[in-house]
Structure formats: structure tokens, C-alpha cells
Amino acid sequence: MSAIKRYGVEGGKGTGGQHLPFARAVQADGWLYVSGQVPMVNGEVIDGGIVAQSHQAIKNVLAILSEAGYGPEDVVRCGVWLDDPRDFMSFNRVFMEYFGANPPARACVVSSMVVDCKVEVDCVAYKKSHTE
């Protein structure tokens, strides 16, 4: 029996309803690795600037954490990709609303996005399993 649990492999949808060939998250021995989340709702990137898109990307991460039984306090590291370096301070203000009480380690880079959006966020969370 595998100690690995995968969330969302049944067929996540991307832009235009395209099947995404990866799990939303994978859990192993108390660790949860959440795939990068963009500001997408029902397969479409939301309208709005960096603030609205940052809120949505982080809410998407938090929804996956919750589905797996984790919370923002369990996040040990986040990765952030910004389309525009000028959005760094605005993103930080939004990020603090969700992670200010329990700040994780974080990397933030500027990168072209695969979908037409301003931000992508992933994370790694840890929660000691009940069997340890």
C-alpha cells in the first residue's frame, strides 16, 4: 500500500477545458506538495489586476490545503511567480493577509506565465501524521 495520496488526478481542467496531466496536490508522510495555482475559477483566469489575481491564486492554494486537511499555518514554503516585478509590493500586501501570522519560507521570481495571468503560487505544507 502506497503512503502517497494524490488530490485532483481525476481530471483537473485548465484554460479552455484542457485536461491537466498533474495532481492538484500530493501528500506523503505528513508533507503536502501543492501544484502551482493561478487566479483561475472554473477553468478561466479571472479579470483584474495583481491584487484581485493574487487573492484568487492564494484562495486556490488554500482550498487545496483545506481539502487535504491542512491550513495556512501548516505551510512551510511558498513559491511565487510574478509576471511583472513592479507587482512585488502589491503581492506582498495580499500575501500577508493570508500568511502574516505564520509566514513560510518563500521564493519569488519574475517569469513569463504559461497562461495569461499575473501571478502563480505553489506551496509545501507539513503536518505531523497521527501515526508518528
Type of residue numbered 8? G
pLDDT digits (tens, 9 = 90+) for 27-70: 999 999 999 999 999 889 999 999 999 999 999 999 999 999 99
DSSP H or E run through 59:
helix 50-67
What does pTM read for this prediction? 0.89
pLDDT digits (tens, 9 = 90+) for 6-15: 887 655 555 5
Average pLDDT of the residues in 108-117: 95
Domains of the chain in sequence order: 5-13+22-126 (3.30.1330.40)
pLDDT digits (tens, 9 = 90+) for 116-131: 999 999 999 999 865 5
Distance CA(57)–CA(63), nearest Å, equals 10
Burial of 112 (0-12, 13-18, 19+ CB in 10 A): exposed
